[in-house]
Structure 1
Amino acid sequence: MMSRLLTISFLLMLLGAEAQQIQQYSQFFMNDYALNPGIAGLRENIEVRSNNRYQWEGITDAPRTYTLSINVPVADEGLGFGAYLFTDIVGPTRRIGFQAGGSYHLPLNDKMKLGIGFSVGVLEYSVDGEKIELADNGDGALMNLLGTTRVVDAKAGVILNAEDFYVGFSVPQIAQNNLDIYASSVAGSSTLVTHYFLMGGYRYEINEDYTIEPNVLAKYVSPAPIKLDISLRGIWKDKVWLGGGYRNGDAFVAMVGVRLNDQILIGYSHDFTTSDIQNYSSGTHEIMLGLDIPKPE
């Protein structure tokens, strides 16, 4: 019964309910390029990141999100390049997106840069009709759904980055394209609504071994209320971290991670759901894999 209710809610979201349409991550600060294209090439290494999120464990056809990103500094010209690919599976719906773009980093002083970036790509929505059970087989609206539709999508972002803090602002889905999900234009369409992300973090070194790092991500899409992701990590020798977080109206988060060497890092987080869904789910798992590749000389 719960699975059927979720499927209905997923369809309502697909059909135009005004809600968060962008995939979420508990370890958002570990794959920040996926949120803000201005970050591309901002750091000295080539960064590869993968986030795999399994939401609401225990519920059939619950959301699953897989993201792979890379961002690369280009020579010493203050330029960067980045790209990312994601798959977001929610009940009978699947979103596959790819974007690539560039950034420019303007030095403000010896320790601070302003990054400006833009990315563009393709977003594909598809509906698996075999997963939809209709009480009324003659329901014209649902029967009229197309299997797959594709649109062009774009994102812009800026970030102010210093040695011990950063503040960034990004705007996903700025094209606001319509998803023509019906075979007939008379039936209507669903709009990709522009989102607004504000993120920031601070790195405070207690001593040469211990560092604490708070991070915040504020997400807004009209007319939904602002969603806040707040996290705090304790880091030991830049090798091991332990932390926690909170997402308002949704979950508490526990996280742990390790840097195996200069190139490889692994992170894990678990969401303890606080919404009504907690009665049916044991929580959410998220795994982050990272690779830092030294820039060629």
Structure 2
Amino acid sequence: MKRTMTKYILAAWVLLATVEIGMAQPMFQFSQYMFNDYVINPAIGGTHDYWQIRSNYRYQWAGVPDGPQTYMLGAYGPHKTLPMGYGGYLSYDNDGSTTYTGMYGSYAYSIKITGDIRLSMGLMAGVVQNKVDLSVLDPSDQVALEGKPTKFIPDGSLGVYLYTSQYFAGLSVSHVFFNNMSLLQEYDDGFDINDARLKPYFNIQGGYKYNLNRNFDIEPSVLLKASPNFDFITDINVRAIYQKMVWGGMGVRYTFRNLDALIIFLGYNYNDLVNIGYSYDISMSSFGKNSYGSHEVMIGVKFDDIRKSKSKRKIR
């Protein structure tokens, strides 16, 4: 009897994780979002004068069994002569029982508003995979769940981005197709398809670069994320940059109801070609306090400029 009850508890947990992936897992959580905001807003793919490669790795709630781990690798840059940009990225998210894998490509087009103010508009499309590891159930149990363990669906996002050499502001919406991500709906009599849809979420971002003197720059930034049936998440950060080479900063992350994390980050810019950054989240949530915090590493490689523009972005 106890074994049977355990089996159903585990099955319910897998089902819940599969349903929740549509709301939680695809909403990528990066503390160093300012260095790879292309994955947040596809319009950013057309705002630089050079091609670049960006990679992120995040280990959420270190010390907690099956703590979420997220990997991201992307590349994007401009057309040599036309005001447009291209790019793409790969993502992989694993929380032990479920994995979420994505492959995307993007296109962006920018127009001049006035002076050095430009507006970029972008779209991104790709395919995502949701996979559940049914081995989380007791492998010796003869009554096992059946069904397809993997599902592929199309995905997409849209964004606009206003920018100059000193400030930026963006708005984007992800998962515009509102697709069903569930794999195990046949095992739940009370299943509601709306609970398992890959729900759209919205990002509002902004930042400003202030030059203190010839050695120091200060860059505050903010990112607000919101999704139906999901708490608002707000990241507020301040970064100090020394001689455009070394930086450090602090930030806070709030949910709709409380303080979620305190963030410390630092980084190094080698010869304006390679960026390396590290951040540590001090978890303040009731669940996160049982962990050793969250670790994140960022690596970026910048290539030579392929076009010259008066609106060249100097932020980052």
Same fold (TM over 0.5): yes
Deviation at 1:226? Answer: 1.4
CA contact (8 A) 2:18 2:181 kept: no
Aligned to 1:260: 270
Q: 1:149 aligns with which of 145, 151, 154?
A: 151
- Over the matched positions of the two proteins, sequence identity in percent amounts to 31
Deviation at 1:234? Answer: 0.5
Q: 2:200 aligns with which of 194, 198, 201?
A: 194
- Distance change (3 Å), C-alpha of 1:7 and 1:283: farther
Deviation at 1:136? Answer: 8.6
CA contact (8 A) 2:50 2:302 kept: yes
> Whole-Å Cα distance in 1 between the matches of residues 187 and 78 of structure 2?
44
CA contact (8 A) 2:22 2:197 kept: no
Partner-residue secondary structure (3-state), 1:15: helix
Aligned to 1:276: 286
Structure 2: runs of 5 or more not aligned: 1-8, 308-316
> Whole-Å Cα distance in 2 between the matches of residues 137 and 34 of structure 1?
43
Aligned to 1:207: 213
Aligned to 2:174: 172
2:147 aligned with 1:130: no
- Distance change (3 Å), C-alpha of 1:296 and 1:204: closer
Moved more, 115-124 or 217-226: 217-226
- Distance change (3 Å), C-alpha of 1:280 and 1:137: farther
Amino acid at match of 2:50: N
2:87 aligned with 1:79: no
> Whole-Å Cα distance in 1 between the matches of residues 273 and 201 of structure 2?
33
> Whole-Å Cα distance in 2 between the matches of residues 239 and 160 of structure 1?
26
Amino acid at match of 2:102: G
Aligned to 2:63: 58
CA contact (8 A) 2:161 2:169 kept: yes
Moved more, 155-164 or 287-296: 287-296
Amino acid at match of 2:253: R
CA contact (8 A) 1:18 1:224 kept: no
Amino acid at match of 1:237: Q
Q: Deviations over 1:252-297 (max 9, x none)?
A: 0000000011211100000000011244211000000000111447
Deviation at 1:8? Answer: 6.9
Structure 1: runs of 5 or more not aligned: none
Deviation at 1:55? Answer: 0.9
Amino acid at match of 1:162: T
> Whole-Å Cα distance in 1 between the matches of residues 229 and 235 of structure 2?
18
Aligned to 2:160: 158
Number of residues of Structure 1 aligned to a counterpart in Structure 2: 290
TM-score by length of 1: 0.90
Report which of the two structures shows the higher radius of gyration computed on alpha carbons.
2
Q: Deviations over 1:20-73 (max 9, x none)?
A: 341110000100101100011311111210010011111121100000111111
Partner-residue secondary structure (3-state), 1:77: coil
CA contact (8 A) 2:19 2:181 kept: no
- Distance change (3 Å), C-alpha of 1:144 and 1:183: farther
Aligned to 2:244: 238
CA contact (8 A) 1:7 1:92 kept: no
Deviation at 1:229? Answer: 0.8
